[in-house]
Structure 1
Amino acid sequence: MAQSGNIVSRQQWGAAAPKKKETLKGSAQRVVIHHTAQPACKDQKECMKRLVSIQRTHMTERGFDDIGYNFLVGGDGAVYEGRGWGVVGAHAKGNNHDSLGIAFIGNFKEDTPSREAMSSVKGLLETGARQGHLSPQYAVSGHRDVGQTECPGAKLQSQLPELRK
């Protein structure tokens, strides 16, 4: 079901059309890692339901133009297209115009991110840099590094060095 590069497209997971889209000016310079702070999903069917719910919440309750993140990743390592490459996200207030927002689906205060999810995000970042969507010298930070939040949870935050080159 996943397409090239193992990314599940918006169409595949049933995304609603964005209200509007703003394009990044050039390559993203950094990556901000998040968690969704909900129960993890272990398979595509469960994850796709979760994405529809997250998008609905972001658009109706938070007034966003679309799901806030550029990409999301499930516990099985499947990567889901959120806003996608080259689009300004709504994931880290004041930090969206030069960054890529990637959310791990789950709550990583106590849970550790799966090896599959970590490996998929590392591959996604390498692909993004290779294709010019991401600066080759990109920086990786947790949401808590750029905002007043516990996100992405202590257990994911401690794994971020693995995502840096």
Structure 2
Amino acid sequence: MIFQGSVRYPVDEIVIHCAATHPDWMRGQPLTAKRKEIDRWHREERGWRKIGYHHLIDRDGAILPGRAETEIGAGVEGHNRGVIHICLIGGAGSAATDPFERNFTAAQDRALRGLIDAIRAETAITRITGHNDHAAKACPGFVVRNWINRA
């Protein structure tokens, strides 16, 4: 079981996000550089202490951690305790109801499904949602429940 924070909130949900970046954003740069830029956005533009997401998934399917899974994330205002936040690189201009493949790659699809399976192996996940399930936003740029059911 994964627990977050000093209160040890049990992790039971995964929320999926997108970075709202264009497909060629920072092309040729390693995912570590992209994580550094997103961390800068979160620190400088939002005033957070560090990157809000626990994992990032690049266009090629590479996965890189952000915050430790044992730390409370900062992905959805008022809905972060007991949640693992995963962010897909891409999604600029997406609509909440777009199909996954309109804004993301097959490699990201495989990586996201694999990461979800790995997290499920560590903790009792009862919900997998998108940012748009909790706020009036397009993020992550697809309907998560539809995407999950396509597997």
Give the structure-2-normalised TM-score: 0.79
Counterpart of 1:97 in structure 2: which amino acid?
A: R
Q: For the residues of structure 2 that align with 1:115 and 1:23, how far apart are their CA atoms?
A: 38
Residue 146 (structure 1) aligns with:
134
Q: Which residue of 1 aligns with 2:53?
A: 69
2:109 match:
118
2:13 corresponds to: 30
Structure 1 residue 59 corresponds to structure 2 residue 43: yes
Which residue of structure 2 lines up, in the alignment, with residue 98 of structure 1?
Answer: 82
- Structure 1 residue 158: Cα displacement: 4.7
**Structure 2, unpaired ranges of 5+:** none
2:61–2:111 Cα contact (<8 Å) kept: yes
* Number of corresponding residues: 140
Q: Is the 8 A contact 1:77 1:117 kept in 2?
A: yes
Cα 1:154–1:128, aligned 2, differ >3 Å: closer, same or farther? closer
Name the CA shift for 1:128/1:36 in 2 (closer, same or farther; >3 Å).
Answer: same
Aligned to 2:73: 89
> Percent identity, aligned pairs only?
24
Shift of 1:145: 0.3
- Given the superposition, is the C-alpha separation of residues 102 and 44 from structure 1 closer, same or farther in structure 2, using an over 3 Å criterion? farther
CA displacement, residues 46-72 of structure 1 (integer Å, 9 cap, x when unaligned): 433222111011011211111010101
**1:130 equivalent in structure 2:** 121
Structure 1 counterpart of 2:33, from 49, 52, 55: 49
1:123-143 CA distances to partner (integer Å, 9 max, x unpaired)?
112112223xx31x4311110
Post-superposition Cα deviations, 1:39-98, rounded to whole Å, max 9, x if no partner, equal 235977343322211101101121111101010100100001010322210001111002
Conserved 8 A contact 1:74-1:104? yes
State the AA in 2 paired with 1:71. H
Describe the shift of the 1:43–1:117 C-alpha distance in structure 2 as closer, same or farther (beyond 3 A). Answer: farther
* Amino acid in the other structure paired with 2:52: G
Q: Normalising by the residue count of structure 1, what TM-score does the alignment of the two structures yield?
A: 0.73
